[in-house]
A = this chain, B = another copy of it.
Amino acid sequence: MYKEKILNVLRSSCSGFVSGEELARTCGISRTMVWKHIKSLEREGFGIEAVPSRGYRITSAPDILRPEDVRRGLRTKIIGREIHLFHKIASTNTLAMEMAANGTPEGAVVIAEMQTGGKGRLGRTWISPQGNLYLSVVLRPNIPIHKAPLITLTGAVAVASAIRTMCGLEAGIKWPNDILISGKKVSGLLTEMSAEQDRIRHIVLGIGVDVNMEMGELPPDVRSLTTTLAAEAGAKINRTALLQQVLRDLERWYQKFLNNHADVLEEWKKLNMTVGNRITVSGAGEDLDGLAQGVDSDGRLIVRLEDGAIRTIAAGDVTIVKK
């Protein structure tokens, strides 16, 4: 608690320097305790300069996510009302699903610096080294089961918007759950749910964003299909600020979704890179080639085949055919 307060005072100082005496007075603790907390912050990775007669100054912050930093200035009402941050866990989605089954409220967020068993769609692995964002959000929308895929679309709109806002990059959505920049994958979403026949109990929206990791962390075969925000922007990205923007945009679009699904679908259409393209779809029972014509009101992809027949696709892997 005092450590956070010291950090806040140091961060909000105009000159940068704050004397040990002032820190001690502001926090109501001894100068020895101030010194101990400063050492503790250094151990967390903060660079702190100590100059006689001027005091302490932060010179660098570690690239780690801290719950206090995520909460500071977040200003959301639902998404992020609980933040559970871990250094390394198997899967944020798995933990969030367990927490949701045990009554964790809507908007709770599970975040990890690393995942040892990160999950992708269809039982695939999501490679999850340090430096990226891995988060899962508990949602309890009062919608019928067949509307559940729209939650994935809502999440994709929020993530693409946040990337555009924070990084100024042209992030687009590939149906149903990938975010691409320059044709390469930079983010993926995995929605999981527990449901009865006519009622969703809870949904967990999992979001992975490749932010600052070294490309060497990836196996060679996926490297050419993948990029990171840092690689695209040409500079390291502030993960805390990006995470906050994702949570804010998620709150905004989730609220819009609850009010009127059509608003989300409209934005999705603006951000998507699938509709209007020739595509191939695999894993949907039969492989298809055709023109992606749109999404229906349940979030399914409408494809016009060569012979003019229309197919509506609920699941599958889409490849956009280069023009």
Chain A residues at the B interface, C-beta cutoff of 8 Å: 121-122, 144-146, 148-149, 151-152, 176-177, 189-199, 298, 300, 314-316
Complex contacts, A148 vs chain B, CB 8 Å: 145, 195, 197
Q: List 17 A-B contacts (CB under 8 A).
A: A121-B197, A121-B199, A144-B315, A146-B146, A146-B298, A146-B314, A151-B197, A152-B197, A176-B197, A176-B198, A191-B196, A192-B197, A193-B195, A193-B196, A195-B195, A198-B314, A198-B315
Q: Helix, strand, loop or mixed for chain A's interface?
A: mixed
Contact A145 B144 (CB under 8 A): no
- 7 A-B pairs with least C-beta separation: A198-B315, A144-B314, A146-B146, A191-B197, A152-B197, A193-B195, A149-B197
Contact A198 B121 (CB under 8 A): yes
Complex contacts, A199 vs chain B, CB 8 Å: 121-122, 315
Contact B198 A190 (CB under 8 A): no
Complex contacts, A152 vs chain B, CB 8 Å: 197
A253 CB, min distance to chain B CBs, angstroms: 16
Q: A145-B145, A145-B146, A149-B145 are in contact. Are A194 and B194 (CB under 8 A)?
A: yes
Complex contacts, A149 vs chain B, CB 8 Å: 145, 197-198
A225 CB, min distance to chain B CBs, angstroms: 20
Closest to A150 in B: B197
Complex contacts, A193 vs chain B, CB 8 Å: 194-196
Complex contacts, A122 vs chain B, CB 8 Å: 196, 198-199
Complex contacts, A198 vs chain B, CB 8 Å: 121-122, 149, 176, 314-316
Docked Cα-Cα span, A145 to B144, in Å, equals 11
- Residue from A122, A300, A315 whose CB has the most chain B CB atoms within 10 Å: A315
Docked Cα-Cα span, A151 to B176, in Å, equals 25
Closest to A196 in B: B192
Complex contacts, A189 vs chain B, CB 8 Å: 197
- Contacts A121-B196, A121-B197, A148-B195 supplied; 5 other A-B pairs, CB < 8 Å: A122-B196, A145-B146, A151-B197, A176-B197, A190-B197
Docked Cα-Cα span, A194 to B145, in Å, equals 12
Q: A144-B314, A145-B314 are in contact. Are A195 and B196 (CB under 8 A)?
A: no
Complex contacts, A197 vs chain B, CB 8 Å: 121, 148-149, 151-152, 176-177, 189-192
